[in-house]
Amino acid sequence: MQMLHWTLGMLASALLVVACGGEADEEQAALRTATPAQVAVAATYDPQTIEEGAANYGVYCIACHGAQGVGIEGLGSNLAESEFVHRLSDAELLAFIQEGRSADHPDNVSGVAMPAKGGFPSLSVAQINTIIAYLRTLQAL
């Protein structure tokens, strides 16, 4: 009986090693094809947060900033290649998104206003933070 337990235990550990080995290979393959910036983002933000951010972006920002943050002429600027987004810390970006930028603001580049919270007053800090995590994955700079 004791022997059987031992044998089953060995078998379970062997299977575990095989399973983990497979996952590690996949991770290694993904890391080889990712840019250094994408590797850094993947290490910084929880994948679940990034996924929620993509969903929130799709509801609150995409109408003006377009899919993948490429921007829509006359509606919203390119966020993927924005030097401004790249330069700001997450906390600074949060503050910016909460406040927006009026059309006559000295920093305004397009003459079109960025509404506070994208024009959704009920957008929470937690939601905006998920959007920031997602924006980081779009960064092409």
Q: Where on the chain is the footprint of ligand HEC (CB under 6 A)?
A: 60-61, 63-65, 75-77, 79, 82, 84-85, 96-97, 101, 108-110, 112, 114-115, 118-119, 131
Nearer to ligand HEC, 119 or 140 (CB): 119
Identify whether the C-beta of residue 69 lies closer than 8 Å to the C-beta of residue 76. Answer: no
Least distance between ligand HEC and beta carbon 124 (Å): 11
Nearer to ligand HEC, 68 or 108 (CB): 108
Over the range 42-76, which residues count as b (16 or more CB within 10 Å of their CB) and which as e? beebeeebbebbbebbeebbbebbbeebebeeeeb
Nearer to ligand HEC, 16 or 109 (CB): 109
Name, in order, each residue with C-beta under 8 angstroms of 71's C-beta and a sequence gap of 6 or more.
65, 77, 78, 79
Least distance between ligand HEC and beta carbon 71 (Å): 8
Least distance between ligand HEC and beta carbon 55 (Å): 12
Identify whether the C-beta of residue 45 lies closer than 8 Å to the C-beta of residue 131. Answer: no
Nearer to ligand HEC, 38 or 78 (CB): 78
